[in-house]
Amino acid sequence: MGDERPIEEVLDTIGDEHARHVLAAVSEEAKSAKELSEQLDLSLPTVYRRLEILQEHDLVTDQTAVADDGNHYKVYQSNFESTVIRLEDDEYRVRIYRSENLPDRFGKLWDDLNVD
């Protein structure tokens, strides 16, 4: 599955060095904001701002994790597999490829086949 976006939207999002580092770190494995802060040597507010921007552009998702002591916190991970940049009709386009799990793909296929 892929979705196309104007290149400016994607490049503006990842044009920031800190956002690129955050995105690269969560592409490896899911991490908390605290882990990102420590790994990237960035302040927590800086990490949270970049995560918010990346989430607004659907490049990062979050999930709630539970610590051994029962406390809840969020972990963040990349929301896409790859990107392709191409020139079409004198305009650059970015295609973001996302992975879907099998039940989601089957449900979409079923919905597409279902004619009312």
pLDDT confidence band for 8 (50 / 70 / 90): confident
Report the first-to-last Cα separation within the chain, whole angstroms. 25
| Predicted local distance difference test score (pLDDT) of residue 112 | 62
* Domain locations in the chain as residue ranges: 2-113
| Predicted local distance difference test score (pLDDT) of residue 56 | 86
CATH class of 2-113: mainly alpha
| Predicted local distance difference test score (pLDDT) of residue 105 | 53
d(CA 67, CA 106): 34
pLDDT per residue over 72-93, tens digit each? 999 999 887 766 777 788 877 7
d(CA 14, CA 83): 12
